[in-house]
Amino acid sequence: MIDERKVLDLLTEPSFRPGLVKVVDEVRRGVADPVEVVSRSLDAAKRYSHLNAYITLLDDVAMERAESLRKALRRGLDRGRLFGVPVSLKDNILTRGVRTTMGSRIFQSYVPAINARVVDVLESQGAVVVGKANLHEFASGVSNKSSVAGPARNPHDPSRISGGSSGGSAVSVAIGSAYISVGTDTSGSVRIPAALCGVVGYKPTYGLIDIWGVFPLAWTLDTVGVLARSISDIAYFLYAVTGDLDYVVRISTDLDIRKITIGYLELDENNKVEKYIMDIISKLDSEGYNIRRISINIESYIETQRVIRLAEASAIHRELYREYRDLYSPDVANLIEQGFKYSAVDYLAAQRSRSILTQSYRSVFKSVDAVVTPTVPVVAPPIEQLDEMAFRALATRYTTVANLVGSPALSLPVGLVEGLPVGLQLLGDVGHDAELLAIAKSIEVAVSKT
C-alpha cells in the first residue's frame, strides 16, 4: 500500500506548479492556517469582483467553516484530504441552505434543502465552499453571457467572454479565489472556459463523480467536472473524492514517452489557434512522443450529440418552459424550441447511432494512447460582438465527442495566441482516466519547457 504522505511529497516537488496540493500539504503540516488561506481566497474574489466570477460569495459562511476547521486541526481531529481548501461550486449544484440559481431568473431566490452528493463528499473531506460560481443560464450555453447575474468576464481581457457554461468556475480558479472549482460538462462546459481562461479543465469518464443533486441539462451526457491550476491538482482532487490513489500514483511516476502514441486530427494551418496547436504537436514529436495522424468523423458525433442534448433538455424543461417562457433568455429558449421538434424516433435513432460511434471511437485507442485537438479553435471573442449560435458551433466542435461516448477529456493551457489563452484538448479511452492524466502531466511538463 502506498503511503499518502509519500504521494504528497512527490506531488509537491518543484517541478509541479503550486496549487491545491501545496495548500493541502502546508495546512496538514501546520505551516498554513486554514483561516488565512480562506481569507486570501475571499480577498481575491473581492479584488476581481468586476469579473463577475460568483453569483453568491459566501464570506461569512466560509470564514465560520475555516474557524471550525482551525479548531479541529488544533485538537488533532481527522482533517480530510481537502482540509481547509477553498473551492467554488457551479451554481447548478445544489447546496443546502445556500441560494442556487441555475443562472436563471426563475430560480434566483431558490434555496435548496439538500446538498448534491458531490458537495457532501467535499465537506466530508474538509473543503471550504467560498462561493457559487456564475454560469450560462441552465448550463445551456458556451459563452456565460446569458446569466441572471450578467456575464462572467475573461481575466485576460474583461471585454471578452469567459466561455461556458462553467465560466465563473474558470474565472474563480484563474484569479486565485478557488483552488478547485466543481462544474458540469455536457458539450464541453468545463473544458471550453478552461481553455479560454488559461486553466485546466477536466471531464471524467461518465459517472465517475456522482451527479445526483445537480440540475440536469441532458441526463445521458451530463458529467460533473473540475477546474484547477494544474494536472497535479486535478489528480489529487480525484483521489480526494474517490479514494483511489492510482490517480496521483500515475502522475508521480515517470512515463517512457517513447512508448506513448498520440493521435491527432488534420487541422487548418490558416486558423491561428489550430496552427499554434500544430506547432505544439510538432514539439511533442521532437520530444520523443510517437505522433500519429488519425481520422474521426467529427461531424457525425456533433450531429448525434446535438439531437440527444436538445431532446433531453427540452424534456427536462417542458413544464418549466410552459409556465415561465418569458423568463428564459432568448438563446436558451431557442435551444428548447429546437428540441421540441425532435420525435421519439429521432431520439432513439440518435441513441442507436451513439452506440455505433462509441464503438468506432474506442477502436481508435487500439493504436493510440490519447488524441489531441484544439479545445476551442478560436480565442475568446468580445462579449458585445458575440453571435451565440455561431460561437457555439465553433466552441463545441472538438469537445462534444467525449460527452457522446462518455470518455475522459481535458483542456490543458499551452500558451497564448494574440495575447489570449489557448487550450490543448486530450481525449482518452472510456474508463482510462488515470492513464489520460499521466499523459497530460507529461505533456504539461514538456510544454512548460518552451
Point out the residues that are catalytic.
90, 165, 189
> CA–CA separation, 361 vs 296, rounded Å?
8
The residue count of the chain comes to 450
Task: Determine how β-strand 261-264 pairs with β-strand 157-161.
Answer: unpaired
Q: What 3-state DSSP class applies to 16? A: coil
Task: Determine how β-strand 86-90 pairs with β-strand 128-133.
Answer: parallel
Determine phi and psi for 147, rounding to 5 degrees.
Answer: -150, 150
- Grid cell at residue 149: 447575474
> CA–CA separation, 63 vs 66, rounded Å?
5
Determine phi and psi for 269, rounding to 5 degrees.
Answer: -65, -20
Nearest to 404 by CA among 297, 332, 277, 317: 297
Q: List the end-to-end C-alpha distance of the chain, in Å, as a whole number.
A: 37
* Nearest-10 Cα torsion for 283, 284, 286, 291: -120
